């Protein structure tokens, strides 16, 4: 994901101006917030939203833990939601201030990471797989071998997003292991295969939407919504679901414990859980959202897009990350640190 830090937001947070009346500070993934949504929200409420982007769950967690950030809302992935809750960084929602809370689709209401949605509301959900320009490579794309045992046609042309848990998770499942594995035999295979494959990668970067649209890269480990955006600009690009196992995720909006613009935050969360507004989020970033009835307001191509609608044959291979314990994260971090050298 592309990260474009908002200078205004950084200055406001650092100077304590973030609590100005009629403003809201949203801390979110890069290239992920619909400008149309923000324009509509400001027009209807008079509240100006400033978005500061981050590039990973760990970045967001560290920034929030450090304090003095000035943010009101954060959008962590499912496996990080319990961490934010356990650390006391977010507050339980006052559902009397969220009349649209009942719009959350039943399958996304009683989720394992936030039962009953007491602390979060959905933003978007999707998958992590591989995007491949089929005019360059015509072989099987539904496998993590695309980046772990790089085909000759893709050597020096494939990017790997620098997301530790996604990449190590895909490699772990490729070698028959479970997410958050502590199996040293499996983890050695993961480490060895990543290190062996790295010389065949062109880069480890977030810019797949731009670089694959412009044919700078022929393939990338990538997210499904970004891959749909690429295909719309560059039709030969297809999205693969690794049959060995691929990552499923959902990002959700949470109210920070030290938020200064609390009423504005509730208005925003209420706003995004209305179907027509949730659809604006999806139409921009091209991910599904988790709000019942939003499909009626989405662009028609979203209803059948192979990047959004998981093919039946690959549904069973998708896995949500649990919240990994400290030991498994230590193993992943050790592998990732060596890979980054």
Tell me, what CATH number does 54's domain have? 3.40.190.10
Q: Say if residue 196 is in the same domain as residue 274.
A: no
- 2 domain residue, yes or no: no
Query: Which residues are paired to 260 by β-bridges?
Result: none
Q: Say if residue 332 is in the same domain as residue 232.
A: yes
Q: Can you tell me the distance from the alpha carbon of 77 to that of 253, in angstroms, rounded to the nearest whole number?
A: 9
Q: Say if residue 131 is in the same domain as residue 151.
A: yes
The stretch 60-76 carries a mean pLDDT of 97
**Res. 6: pLDDT tops 60:** no
Q: Say if residue 238 is in the same domain as residue 318.
A: yes
Q: Say if residue 102 is in the same domain as residue 171.
A: no
Q: Say if residue 196 is in the same domain as residue 334.
A: yes
Q: Say if residue 217 is in the same domain as residue 326.
A: yes
Q: Say if residue 335 is in the same domain as residue 194.
A: yes
Domain that holds residue 157: 127-247+309-340
Phi and psi at residue 255, in whole multiples of 5°? -90, 120
- 234 domain residue, yes or no: yes
Q: What is the pLDDT of residues 117-163, one digit of tens each?
A: 999 999 999 999 999 999 999 999 999 999 999 999 999 999 999 99
The model's confidence at residue 176, banded by pLDDT at 50, 70 and 90, is very high
Q: What is the per-residue pLDDT for 3?
A: 34
Q: What is the per-residue pLDDT for 267?
A: 98
Q: Say if residue 161 is in the same domain as residue 272.
A: no
Q: Say if residue 50 is in the same domain as residue 117.
A: yes
The pTM for the full model equals 0.91
Q: What is the pLDDT of residues 77-88, one digit of tens each?
A: 999 999 999 999
Tally of domains within the chain: 2
Q: What is the pLDDT of residues 192-202, one digit of tens each?
A: 999 999 999 99
Q: Say if residue 121 is in the same domain as residue 201.
A: no
Q: What is the pLDDT of residues 28-64, one digit of tens each?
A: 999 999 999 999 999 999 999 999 999 999 999 999 9
Q: Can you tell me the distance from the alpha carbon of 35 to that of 2, in angstroms, rounded to the nearest whole number?
A: 15
């Amino acid at each position: 994901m592309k990260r474009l830090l908002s200078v205004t937001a950084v200055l406001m947070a650092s100077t304590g101006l973030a609590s100005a009346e009629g403003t809201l500070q949203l801390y979110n993934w890069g290239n992920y917030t619909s400008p149309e949504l923000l324009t509509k929200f400001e027009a209807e409420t008079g509240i100006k939203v400033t978005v500061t982007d981050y590039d990973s769950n760990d970045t967001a967690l560290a920034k929030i833990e450090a304090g003095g950030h000035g943010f009101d809302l954060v959008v962590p992935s499912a496996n990080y939601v319990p961490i934010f809750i356990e650390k006391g960084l977010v507050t339980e929602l006052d559902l009397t201030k969220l009349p649209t809370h009942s719009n959350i689709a039943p399958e996304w209401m009683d989720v394992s990471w936030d039962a009953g949605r007491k602390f979060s509301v959905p933003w978007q959900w999707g998958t992590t797989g591989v995007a491949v320009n089929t005019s360059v490579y015509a072989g099987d794309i539904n496998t993590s071998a695309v980046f772990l045992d790089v085909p000759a046609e893709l050597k020096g042309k494939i990017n790997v997003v620098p997301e530790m848990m996604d990449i190590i998770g895909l490699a772990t499942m490729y070698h028959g292991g479970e997410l958050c594995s502590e199996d040293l035999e499996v983890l050695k295979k993961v480490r060895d295969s990543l290190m062996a494959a790295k010389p065949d990668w062109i880069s480890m970067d977030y810019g797949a939407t731009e670089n694959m649209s412009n044919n700078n890269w022929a393939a990338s480990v990538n997210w499904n919504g970004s891959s749909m955006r690429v295909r719309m600009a560059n039709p030969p690009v297809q999205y693969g679901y690794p049959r060995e196992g691929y990552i499923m995720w959902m990002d959700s909006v949470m109210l920070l414990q030290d938020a200064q613009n609390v009423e504005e935050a509730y208005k925003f969360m209420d706003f995004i859980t209305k179907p027509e507004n949730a659809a604006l989020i999806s139409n921009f970033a091209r991910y599904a959202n988790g709000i019942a009835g939003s499909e009626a307001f989405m662009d028609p191509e979203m209803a059948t897009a192979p990047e959004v609608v998981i093919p039946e044959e690959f549904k069973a291979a998708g896995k949500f990350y649990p919240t990994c314990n400290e030991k498994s994260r230590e193993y992943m971090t050790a592998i990732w640190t060596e890979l980054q050298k």
